[in-house]
Amino acid sequence: MDNEDIYEQANKKIKIKKGFFYHLLAYVFTIGMLYAIMHFENNGELLPVIIVGLSWGIGLAAHYLYAFGTENLEIFGFDSDWEEEELEKELERLRRKRELKEEIRKEKESLDEAERLELKEIVKKPLEENGFD
């Protein structure tokens, strides 16, 4: 990667994070306005505010995870390195699987070779006994 590619990636990531903060601001403002309207105009009926807040909150949480990942969620018990650890485990598992397949292939080839040699010996003995070299 050259410096220009790195700059483009960093710039894209900053725009994603900035977009999350605009989303958060819109969420807080809208939920606040909806709460005020429901409180003063609808005798304090808060169910619509709760429904909108929870449903929009799920989208906001997804946006947060997209923008920041789990790196800042350690206080909630999320390990920031879990992705790298799982990647290492998966890579090791795939490497071991490949090694086992290669060992099986080699073992099969050696068995095939042994069978061919054995077959040659079986065919060769009767020929030698009958005087055919």
Which residue ranges make up each domain of the chain? Answer: 1-78, 81-133
SS3 133: coil
Distance of CA 84 to the CA centre of its chain: 10
Distance of CA 23 to the CA centre of its chain: 25
Q: What percent of the chain has pLDDT over 70?
A: 80
Q: What is the pTM of this model?
A: 0.55
pLDDT one-digit tens code per residue, 97-133: 999 999 999 988 888 887 877 766 766 666 566 665 5
